[in-house]
Structure 1
């Protein structure tokens, strides 16, 4: 068994779990760190899909009571039907555009330099959003309108560009459209479930031939690390945004992205280029 590969799997799993639900781009971090660690072969593509799914399972577990309540009342409770309907509406833009441009985006944009650029640009967008006058009109997820859900869905579609951040797009979009910080974050978490589940199924279907039995230990280590890290990150994130803005994440994105671009420009690291 390759101990170094298992160590790499654990590192990437922790990074995925910590960043999936923060506005810093988990995919971007996996691309950059995977490139830095030399884990960029065909197996790594499937590995990243699997550990992202593990992070989504952590959210399902954390919000299991709400999800069970919605599922049990789906045929009888108007509130549950409305909640699922809004998630479906918000899911549609990314689903349609993803099917149209998935292959093109993966072949042209999934590289460290594109990610670094998107991190910097996204950081400045967060700073801009935070400097605006903020007067939330929607305090909870249940108070959202169908229009709110659709607008957040279109914001999520921007995250097809690696480095943009799915959670960052949905949360910042939510703030712009009048959601409270908690409502924007929680709706982002719930929207991640159908979005990432669909992306996982689609990517596994496209890369089915790359699955190998000998990779199970690596996938298992990465998945466990991702699940545990995501459980901690979600709880901590909700507590954090109750009393803080997202400015710290903006500066983190900007600094991290500029470091990657600087190491490329100065030829200190041989990053994979477009």
Structure 2
């Protein structure tokens, strides 16, 4: 991985992490295009730069992270399903992460869901999140263990299914991303070093650059997304996902099989 590739991947991470279009899917597709997807450092990089996007949420919603212990207990309730299922299905998840074809199919199906989700749930005005609601949103979030599903989309839809407004569901999705992505980063880092791999000075520099770029881009992406979502809903993201999913399937079946 060179510096330009690192910057491009970080921009994509910052843009897509909190949008319902699957950041993991876009990272897999882009790194495959660069021909670096099978490199162990690339796999580490795409996870670790999530720290930058996590920080963007903390900065934008700084006061919310210091309002009460109850806030953290609800995040814990939402985080538990990901911990349990992530540990149980770790090997299967790693296998799925190596399949751009799975990403293409997930993008397509998820796009259809996003087009219909506003009709299914409307825009309820609820903003209060109970522990039970937080836990159910956490269960929805686990669907994103399938690459291409989108953690953001799954958790937001989970919130709307519990009669939360689009904005309230999106904001809780952002908050829930913090422990979820911290956990994923810690696990990936542990596995990387446990396998006897190390980081050289150039790789450390790329990680720093990636986190800074991801942080800056995510700041703008979150603010823009919340404003757009509250007024227009999910349809445009659904159409985008369908377009990308069909494009990838056409490439796979008629041009060159998608593989890593």
Q: TM-score, normalised to structure 2's length?
A: 0.94
Q: Please tell me whether the aligned partners of residues 46 and 211 of structure 1 are also in contact (alpha carbons under 8 angstroms).
A: no
Distance in 2, matches of 1:159 and 1:133, equals 20
Shift of 1:52: 1.4
1:200 aligned to 170, 185, 196, which one?
185
With 168-177 and 21-30 compared, the bigger mean Cα shift is at 168-177
Q: Please tell me whether the aligned partners of residues 120 and 257 of structure 1 are also in contact (alpha carbons under 8 angstroms).
A: yes
Label 1:133 to 1:16 Cα distance change in 2 as closer, same or farther (>3 A).
Answer: closer
Distance in 1, matches of 2:124 and 2:237, equals 21
Label 1:133 to 1:30 Cα distance change in 2 as closer, same or farther (>3 A).
Answer: closer
1:46 aligned to 44, 47, 60, which one?
44
1:243 aligned to 214, 217, 231, which one?
231
Shift of 1:98: 0.3
Find out whether 1:152 has 2:150 as its counterpart. Answer: no
Give the aligned CA root-mean-square deviation in angstroms: 1.5
1:103 aligned to 85, 91, 97, which one?
91
Larger Rg: 1
Q: Which runs of 5+ in 1 are unaligned?
A: 71-79
Shift of 1:261: 0.8
Q: Please tell me whether the aligned partners of residues 116 and 256 of structure 1 are also in contact (alpha carbons under 8 angstroms).
A: yes
1:212 aligned to 195, 199, 217, which one?
199
Query: Any runs of at least 4 consecutive aligned residues in structure 1 with deviations exceeding 3 A, and if so which?
Result: none
Aligned to 2:169: 184
Alignment partner of 1:242: what SS? helix
Q: TM-score, normalised to structure 1's length?
A: 0.89
Alignment partner of 1:110: what SS? coil
With 104-113 and 35-44 compared, the bigger mean Cα shift is at 104-113
Distance in 1, matches of 2:2 and 2:115, equals 38
Shift of 1:26: 0.3
Shift of 1:125: 1.2
Aligned to 1:123: 111
Aligned length: 256
Label 1:91 to 1:133 Cα distance change in 2 as closer, same or farther (>3 A).
Answer: closer
